[in-house]
Amino acid sequence: MRPLFETVTDLAAGADIVRARRYGIVVVAEGRLVAVWMWPLPKLLAWPEVVPVGRRYHARGPRDRCRLYYNQPWRFPNYLALRYVVSAAGTSLATFRAALSVLDAIAQIKGSDALLCDIANSRISARLMARWGWQAHKPGRMHRNYIKRFYGKYPPIDWSWASHGAPTPP
């Protein structure tokens, strides 16, 4: 039986763990992968959604650090859902892009068909999402859903975030 919590710091070496676990947190700092924390439960709520802390929540966090929470839904095992992103004031675009690149690598390891997300931040434009390979999906009044489709054709991954360099393909 697997432990409830596991940590992967090298995606190539920990590919079997990543493939087996449904819920994780990608942690990137200063443009480099720190770890992928595997959790037994999905991300459902976040502190700012429960308590109205506003901008103070992001202002206090560690500088240039980003966490992406992802789930692999039981009903749709071929998809990964990007549930939540947490960053502090001062997080660089390079760190955020590295975190998204790690998520692409996880999708490739798992053989996922697509990534899905619901964007609540109005500062993230449809044009930016299109530039990064995401398409509008099931538009609605209250939600801006996006999908990044793979279906076996994964984008080349920029492995600059990996401290050990690019792994050999699986």
The pLDDT value given to residue 59: 54
Residue 9 has pLDDT above 60, yes or no: yes
The pLDDT value given to residue 136: 87
Region of 64 please: left (phi>0), alpha (psi -120 to 50) or beta. Answer: left
- Range 140-159 average pLDDT: 83
Distance of alpha carbon 142 from alpha carbon 118, whole angstroms: 10
The pLDDT of residue 168: 46
Ordered domains of the chain (ranges, CATH): 6-161 (3.40.630.30)
> How high is the pLDDT of residue 50?
54
Percent of the chain with pLDDT over 70: 83
Whether residue 22 has pLDDT greater than 70: yes
The span from the CA of 20 to the CA of 162, in Å, is 21
Q: Is 153 left (phi over 0), alpha (psi -120 to 50) or beta?
A: beta
User: Chain-wide mean pLDDT for the chain?
Assistant: 83
The answer to whether residue 97 scores a pLDDT higher than 70 is yes
- Give the pLDDT of residue 170: 42
Rounded Cα gap, residues 38 and 16, in angstroms:
12
Of 53 and 82, the one with more pLDDT:
82
The single residue listed with the structure tokens 């975030």 is: 161
Whole-prediction pTM: 0.84
The C-alpha angle with vertex 130 and arms to 91 and 36, in degrees rounded to 5, equals: 45
A 10 A CB-CB count for 142 gives 6
